[in-house]
A and B are shown apart, each in its own frame.
Chain A
Amino acid sequence: DQQVKQNSPSLSVQEGRISILNCDYTNSMFDYFLWYKKYPAEGPTFLISISSIKDKNEDGRFTVFLNKSAKHLSLHIVPSQPGDSAVYFCAASVGDNQGGKLIFGQGTELSVKP
């Protein structure tokens, strides 16, 4: 089941620069997308989401871009900070996730170097 794919298992970025994490999906029925951040030995923590009726959503240093025609979304973190070092998961669902399941990507481990 590869409906949601994060093709980069890891990413290393210098502090202060931009981090760009990518995610692709295959199911055109997905209409709600989320990014979660996960530290070791903790559960995923919600970061930001986007509905398919939008192409951009911004929250502080985090911006998610959605390209529906390419079935691609990306998370931009600007400026990156060492505390951002974690595994980032992209997830998708059908509907606004009131009770629906999330399909997760494999995760990208971000390392932000001071």
Chain B
Amino acid sequence: EPEVTQTPSHQVTQMGQEVILRCVPISNHLYFYWYRQILGQKVEFLVSFYNNEISEKSEIFDDQFSVERPDGSNFTLKIRSTKLEDSAMYFCASSENRPNFGPGTRLTVT
């Protein structure tokens, strides 16, 4: 069964640095998402992406965040200047009729 894949599995970065989290969605899916889960908290929606543009974003998804589909297969989340509170698991998902989640990237900001 096709799966969403994410790289890296764990990223450690210093505060203020830029990070790019990568995802390969399921190939025939048209909707793409990023969610995050801060340790001990709920899974939270960040952004959805369709037809090469953002279709919806949450209050969390401020100017420090951006998403891109640079080619036909990858879907990336960039955080321009990381803060300590950005430390979380970041899940990519893609959807045909309901979101399929990837295994996540654990981002640790020190």
Contact = CB atoms under 8 A, between A and B. Distances in A.
Interface of A: 34, 36, 41-46, 49, 89, 91, 96-107
Contacts of B55: 99
Interface of B: 4, 31, 33, 35, 41-45, 48, 50, 55-56, 58, 91, 93, 95, 97-104
Q: Identify whether the interface residues of A are mostly helix, strand, loop, or mixed.
A: loop
A98 B45 contact: no
Contacts of A43: 4, 91, 93, 101-104
Given A43-B91, A89-B43, 17 more contacts: A36-B101, A41-B103, A41-B104, A42-B104, A43-B4, A43-B101, A43-B102, A44-B101, A97-B97, A97-B99, A98-B31, A98-B97, A100-B56, A101-B45, A102-B45, A106-B41, A107-B42
